[in-house]
Amino acid sequence: MERKKTESPAPAALKMREAREYLGGLSVPTIHRLVKRGLLRPNRATRHLIFLRSDLDRFLRDGMTE
Q: How many domains does the chain have?
A: 1
Residue 10 has pLDDT above 70, yes or no: no
CB 60 within 8 A of CB 23: yes
Residue 3 has pLDDT above 90, yes or no: no
Provide the whole-model pTM: 0.75
Chain segment 38-57, per-residue pLDDT in tens: 999 998 888 888 999 999 99
Establish how many alpha carbons lie within 13 A of residue 40's alpha carbon, considering only the half-sphere containing its beta carbon: 28
Domain extent at residue 30: 13-62
Per the domain annotation, does 1 fall within a domain? no
